[in-house]
């Protein structure tokens, strides 16, 4: 059944009128609440219109400082009172019903969306790409009553883990107003300012100031009481891998006591010290980075309009974030996706020093291989090989970097990946069908879209890459296209290929992936056949 253009126009007009009506009603309600607060002691935003909830005492400072962009609800004293009230009521009274706890935790009037011209809306100023953090401004995405009208970002911190936070709050194990203590959490190694931080074309997928939030936004955190969270953490560690132990035993890696060190002695079951070789450990620095998307830059990077990007994100997440549509003035979105981790081998300062040799691997997550050692793909062997190359580079006086992205199954997910495995093994696993099998199920052979990947390289100040351990043409093109030259690239040696991974490698080579060996054609691929299920015992 088709809809005429006139009918469609009428529908759109009615929708617009409803939106205006909703905004008007919202403004009237906010105005009434403001007048009530002015004439009587304020109550918690957790108090329902029917009188249920917990009245809160007046905050110590009833009027916010004139320089503060916040309303009285963002006063730290009131926030502390709010937190204590929720803790005392929910934490101690175990007899509360779910409905009573819901009334305490959340306002009875559900706010599905806000609008730019709504009463009281005043986002904290944020200028993406500004040269100093105060001009740039903090990322504020909290929906707490103390900050919902001042948000300058949509979504939630911690990506997909924000769902676990919601569950913890619902179960009463986490106070939603808990204020983190960031003492002694500053980066273990410095990641200093780089010019790319203030270039809005270079970094659009995360906050370059994310690791310095407690330091550069101390005033906003402590005095204005804004709920601001770091989106990057930098620490140091030792990496322990059995494959590296074996390489060291074979003499393929050198124990230098700086990059590669001896592990502590092992112990026998009786507690005595074992004489067995304990192996080695790699001294590293690492940074965990959560996604924070600057929507205009994301849209430009993919060559689409910001409006189309917002609509796609709204529609294809089941309408999870309506303000992608209703708040075009908010340009930052924290998407519910996995983060990335940067593993640094050697001195992190060398990453931005063009006189130092740099070895890089950008690796996309493969749980089945990386963790559980599947032999159907080359992911783990390639990762281990890259780590060894990074160690050697650091021992030569350079620096190594492995960037690990959570993009399981080429960002199609592990369920889709396993469905493809089933199809391949039942339909004859040959290299000529490798990408076609994925397309039959997912509709596309790869959804990793490497356009955002180089951001982390620019954040670290990398200006050239001496050695890139990768066959991926998509990764190579994205890095070079972002302005970082790659001097040498190399693929995984044949002797490291797992038994059942030749199908993947040959299909990639024929599709244009880099190889230092023989070039393959589509005609060659029918000769490369993987192991059938019947050839193994289950």
Q: Catalytic positions, please?
A: 446, 448
Token look-up 């093994």 returns: 425
Task: Assign residue 504 a region (left: φ > 0; alpha: ψ between -120 and 50; beta: otherwise).
Answer: alpha
Residue of 383, 405, 410 lying closest to 496 (CA atoms): 383
Q: Kindly provide the b/e burial profile for residues 252-285, where b requires at least 16 CB atoms within 10 angstroms of the residue's own CB.
A: ebeeeeebbeeeeeeeeeeeeeeeeebbbbbbbb
Residue 343 three-state SS: strand
Tokens of 507: 């299909």
Q: Are 149 and 120 in contact (CB under 8 A)?
A: yes
Q: Give the number of other CB atoms < 10 A from CB of residue 91.
A: 12
Q: Any idea what DSSP says for residue 426?
A: H
Separation between Cα atoms, residue 288 and residue 165, nearest integer Å: 18
Spell out where 54-94 has E strands: none
Q: Give the number of other CB atoms < 10 A from CB of residue 127.
A: 13
Q: Are 233 and 211 in contact (CB under 8 A)?
A: yes
Q: Residue 312 contacts by C-beta under 8 Å, 6 or more apart in sequence?
A: none
Tokens of 504: 């993947």
Separation between Cα atoms, residue 143 and residue 227, nearest integer Å: 9
Q: Are 441 and 416 in contact (CB under 8 A)?
A: yes
Residue 22 three-state SS: helix
Separation between Cα atoms, residue 123 and residue 146, nearest integer Å: 12
Cα-flanking dihedrals φ and ψ of residue 87, to 5°?
Answer: -60, -50
Cα-flanking dihedrals φ and ψ of residue 441, to 5°?
Answer: -95, -50
Spell out where 219-279 has E strands: 232-239, 260-262
- On the CB side of 364, CA atoms within 13 Å amount to 21
- Give the C-alpha distances (Å, rounded to integers) separating 402 from 97, 284, 359, 371: 49, 11, 8, 16
Secondary structure (DSSP) of 85-115: HHIIIIIH-TT--HHHHHHHHS-SS------
Q: Give the number of other CB atoms < 10 A from CB of residue 181.
A: 8
Q: Are 380 and 326 in contact (CB under 8 A)?
A: no
């Amino acid at each position: 059944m088709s809809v005429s253009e006139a009918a469609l126009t009428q529908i759109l007009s009615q929708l617009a009128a409803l939106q205006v009506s909703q905004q008007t009603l919202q403004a009237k309600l906010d105005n009434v609440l403001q007048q009530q607060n002015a004439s009587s002691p304020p109550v918690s935003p957790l108090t329902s219109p029917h009188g249920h909830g917990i009245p809160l005492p007046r905050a110590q400072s009833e009027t916010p400082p004139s320089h503060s962009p916040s309303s009285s609800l963002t006063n730290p004293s009131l926030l502390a009172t709010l937190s204590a009230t929720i803790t005392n009521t929910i934490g101690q009274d175990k007899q509360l019903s779910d409905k009573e706890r819901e009334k305490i935790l959340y306002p009875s009037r559900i706010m599905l969306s806000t609008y730019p011209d709504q009463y009281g809306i005043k986002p904290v100023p944020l200028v993406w790409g500004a040269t100093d953090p105060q001009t740039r401004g903090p990322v504020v995405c909290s929906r707490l009553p103390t900050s919902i009208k001042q948000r300058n970002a949509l979504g939630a911190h911690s990506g997909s883990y924000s769902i676990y936070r919601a569950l913890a709050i619902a179960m009463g194990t986490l106070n939603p107003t808990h204020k983190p203590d960031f003492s002694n959490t500053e980066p273990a190694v410095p990641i200093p300012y780089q010019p790319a931080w203030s270039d809005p074309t270079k970094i659009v997928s995360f906050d370059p100031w994310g690791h310095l939030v407690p330091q550069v936004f101390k005033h906003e955190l402590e005095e204005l009481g804004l709920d601001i969270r770091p989106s990057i953490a930098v620490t140091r560690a030792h990496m322990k891998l059995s494959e590296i132990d074996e390489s060291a035993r074979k003499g393929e890696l050198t124990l230098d006591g700086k990059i590669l060190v001896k592990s502590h002695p092992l112990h026998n079951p009786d507690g005595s010290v074992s004489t067995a070789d304990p192996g080695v450990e790699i001294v590293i620095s690492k940074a965990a980075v959560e996604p924070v998307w600057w929507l205009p830059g994301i849209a430009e990077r993919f060559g689409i309009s910001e409006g189309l990007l917002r609509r796609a994100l709204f529609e294809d997440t089941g309408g999870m974030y309506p303000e992608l549509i209703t708040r075009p003035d908010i340009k930052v979105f924290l998407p519910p996706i996995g983060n990335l981790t940067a593993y640094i081998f050697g001195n992190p300062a060398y990453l931005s020093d063009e006189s130092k040799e740099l070895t890089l691997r950008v690796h996309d997550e493969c749980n089945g291989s990386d963790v559980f050692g599947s032999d159907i793909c080359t992911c783990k062997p390639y990762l281990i090989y890259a780590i060894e190359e990074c160690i050697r580079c650091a021992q030569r006086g350079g620096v190594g970097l492995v960037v690990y992205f959570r993009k399981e199954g080429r960002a199609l997910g592990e369920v889709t990946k396993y469905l493809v495995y089933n199809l391949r093994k039942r339909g004859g696993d040959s290299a000529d069908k490798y990408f076609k099998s994925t397309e039959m199920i997912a509709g596309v052979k790869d959804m990793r879209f490497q356009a955002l990947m180089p951001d982390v390289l620019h954040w670290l100040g990398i200006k050239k890459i001496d050695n890139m351990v990768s066959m991926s043409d998509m990764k190579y093109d994205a890095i070079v296209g972002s302005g970082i030259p790659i001097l040498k690239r190399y693929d995984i040696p044949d002797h490291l290929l797992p038994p059942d991974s030749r199908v993947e490698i040959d299909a990639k080579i024929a599709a244009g992936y880099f190889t230092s060996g023989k070039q393959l054609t589509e005609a060659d691929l029918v000769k490369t056949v993987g192991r059938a299920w019947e050839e193994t015992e289950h």
